[in-house]
Amino acid sequence: MARTGGYVPLREYAVIGDGRTAALVARDGSVDWLGLPDMDSPAVFGAVLDADRGGRFSLEPAVAYRSDRRYLPGTNVLETTFVTSQGTARVTDALTLHDEVALAPMRELQRRVDGVSGAVPMRWSVRPRFGYGTRTTRLLRRAGVPMATTGSDALAICSWGAGEPQCGVDAISGSFLVTAGGSALIAMPFAHQEPLVLPARAECDARRERTCAAWRHWADDRIYTGRWSQAVMRSLLILKLLVFAPSGAVAAAVTTSLPEHVGGERNWDYRFSWVRDSAFTLAAFLQLGCPTEAHAYFWWLMHASQLTHPRLQVLYRLDGRAATTEKDLPWEGYCGSSPVRIGNAAAGQLQLDTYGELMQTAWLYARATGRLDADIGRRLAELADLVCATWREPDSGIWEVRSAPRHFTQSKMMCWVALDRAAHLAERSLIPDRHLARWQSTRREIATFIETRCVSPRRNCYARAAGSEDLDAAVLLGHLYGYDGDVQRMRATITALGQELRHGPFVDRYSGEDGLSGAEGAFLTCSFWLAESLARTGQLAQAAALMDDLVHLANDVGLYSEEIDPATGDFLGNLPQGLSHLAVISAACAINGAYKEAGG
């Protein structure tokens, strides 16, 4: 596969993970992204953001080839088949799951090569760049094993049947011939502030098999019957991969700064957990039979938000901390798209919609479990009080615009949702009801503001913001979360969005300025929200047709990025994008449910 300037199209990436970190693997066998030891740690391989300085782990035939790939059924273990004129070889890539059976490395990337037919010459190269390439990397051998170290971090290259490893100036490399029925294995154990464990091959093979079995066991226990089952189950597996196992948090994506417009500045770090995604996340876990993940995620969210109570931060670190300082790296960026950012300054924005998202999440959890901890109930009541005091303020909105704050319609709708859910919880004695009357009266005030100030007179639909004629697909969330507004006006909004922001299956986020230069692609999540909204307004045929189109926009292994360029079909933005996959699940469940209710 030819690279342009050292880069491959983002659509050509697959992802593997172990519940603590994740790696991007290109179709040509190169691991171009891997943070260690955790998903939000500095990258050791970052070639997706700087082809020259980022570092990678390449593994491919030394002759011309074509490649096909898939995930092993029910797993996040990747299998790539390389077909050459001399034969066929298959590479299996896994970040192995930690177990208690044997002493295991802190993290471990395994790459197994199997000969399928003929004799295929293979080559590999490991170019680690610790700390985003800012730290000096030492290559050395210990007990004959090649290693790379810096400070308290170390990795080793343990290989069997993969040729004699060579330690160069900046890379560990090798070559070998794999024949039909033969195999080779390259394992890369990693350690941070602890001894580096060097595994035996038998231990690696057993751990890889246990990893595959663990993924399959988890997937087999999930519950989904209906159309688009393959897309739903792959999305659920991706969601599970995005779970940071030590805390239960769910990352928005495994990458940073993949551009929304190639060559532009819309490049953000998504290795955090957004309150914005919380209700969709909990709903997906509950709908598809993942109570353990639902419980862990809810309690992580309650712990993280307690640190900034009563105000919510837009996003939190995967370990629950609030600090997310944004700075730029001296990298060129994907295909020259700079800056490359780590950290996210949006954490400091006021986004009023987050209160509705968190209260919706708490309501879903309480409905599923029938209870809420007393301290959680007290805090939720205090959040409702804060919404009463702050809903009139302009904010940056769900899309985290970097222009001046405005009275965004979706933010007001989610304030309404926050107070509506608080009222329902209070009426069921799940949270204190001392201020119930105030919540109810403020809820009516917000509805009046929306219905009189946030409407486009020309279209009689909901506008992007008060006094604006622009449109915003995020308004659909008000509909999906039960905002009790004018039914005909919401239907007119769905129609207007379809006419003005939709282009085939693609839907833009909004019209109007946002304080940033350049364009962006179509936001995939908005397309799925539109499909779900069509279903919820009885337009089932249109909803199913749109869903069919959207399912086919995934890449060859079922992944979605944040955005797609409608003109080329190229992926844009960070990937895999958790919100895109959550929207797949939500839309599929809603459309299937609507068909069942209609007797279809």
Q: Please write the tens of the pLDDT for every residue from 128-169.
A: 999 999 999 999 999 899 999 999 999 999 999 999 999 999
Name, in order, each residue with C-beta under 8 angstroms of 2's C-beta and a sequence gap of 6 or more. none
Name, in order, each residue with C-beta under 8 angstroms of 448's C-beta and a sequence gap of 6 or more. none
Q: Name the packing angle between helices 374-390 and 409-427 (round to 10°).
A: 140
Provide the pLDDT for residue 102.
76
In a 3-state reduction of DSSP, which class is residue 462?
strand
| Displacement of CA 485 from its chain's centroid (Å) | 31
Name, in order, each residue with C-beta under 8 angstroms of 137's C-beta and a sequence gap of 6 or more. 128, 129, 130, 148, 149, 150, 170
Q: Which residue from 102, 76, 61, 63 is spatially nearest to 24, judged by alpha carbons?
A: 76
**What single string gives the DSSP state of each residue in 22-59?**
EEEEETTS-EEEEESSSTTSPEEE-TTT-TTTS-EEEE
Provide the pLDDT for residue 272.
97
Distance CA 273, CA 249 (A): 6
Contact 509, 260 (CB under 8 A): no
Q: Where are the beta strands (DSSP E) in 161-304?
A: 166-167, 172-179, 183-192, 243-244, 249-250, 273-274
The residue written with tokens 């003109």 in the block is 567
* The pair of three-digit structure tokens given for residue 337, joined into one six-digit string: 């798209």
* The pair of three-digit structure tokens given for residue 511, joined into one six-digit string: 């019209």
DSSP letter (8 states) at residue 152 = T
Distance CA 282, CA 298 (A): 7
The residue written with tokens 């060859």 in the block is 556
Distance CA 565, CA 462 (A): 26
Distance CA 333, CA 255 (A): 12
Residue ranges of domains in the chain: 56-220, 229-597
* The pair of three-digit structure tokens given for residue 297, joined into one six-digit string: 């995620």
Distance CA 499, CA 494 (A): 9
Q: Where are the beta strands (DSSP E) in 207-275?
A: 243-244, 249-250, 273-274
Instruction: Please tell me whether the peptide bond between 310 and the residue prior to it is cis, using omega within 30 degrees of 0.
Output: yes
Q: How far apart are the first and last CA of the chain?
A: 45
| CB-facing half-sphere around the CA of 305: CA atoms within 13 A | 28
Name, in order, each residue with C-beta under 8 angstroms of 100's C-beta and a sequence gap of 6 or more. none
Q: Which residue from 522, 550, 564 is spatially nearest to 10, judged by alpha carbons?
A: 564
Mean pLDDT of the chain: 96
Name, in order, each residue with C-beta under 8 angstroms of 151's C-beta and a sequence gap of 6 or more. 130, 135
Name, in order, each residue with C-beta under 8 angstroms of 358's C-beta and a sequence gap of 6 or more. 275, 278, 301, 305, 312, 383, 418
Q: Which residue from 72, 70, 17, 547 is spatially nearest to 238, judged by alpha carbons?
A: 17
Q: Name the packing angle between helices 353-369 and 409-427 (round to 10°).
A: 30
Provide Rg for the chain, Cα atoms: 25
Provide the pLDDT for residue 517.
66
Contact 139, 167 (CB under 8 A): yes
How far is CA 57 from each of CA 32, 121, 220, 232, rounded to the nearest angstrom? Answer: 7, 17, 32, 31
Distance CA 455, CA 415 (A): 17
CA angle 567, 547, 399 (to 5 degrees): 65
* The pair of three-digit structure tokens given for residue 244, joined into one six-digit string: 């940071």
Reduce the secondary structure of 463-523 to three states and give it as a string.
CCECCCCCCECCHHHHHHCCCCCCHHHHHHHHHHHHHHCEECCEECCECCCCCCCCCCCEE
Distance CA 518, CA 503 (A): 19
Q: Which residue from 123, 168, 120 is spatially nearest to 146, judged by alpha carbons?
A: 168
Q: Name the packing angle between helices 229-242 and 578-597 (round to 10°).
A: 140
Distance CA 130, CA 35 (A): 9
Give the class (CATH, top level) of 56-220: mainly beta
Give the class (CATH, top level) of 229-597: mainly alpha
Low-confidence ranges of the chain (pLDDT < 70): 1, 516-519, 600
Contact 472, 509 (CB under 8 A): yes
The amino acid occupying position 283 is A
Instruction: Please tell me whether the peptide bond between 394 and the residue prior to it is cis, using omega within 30 degrees of 0.
Output: no
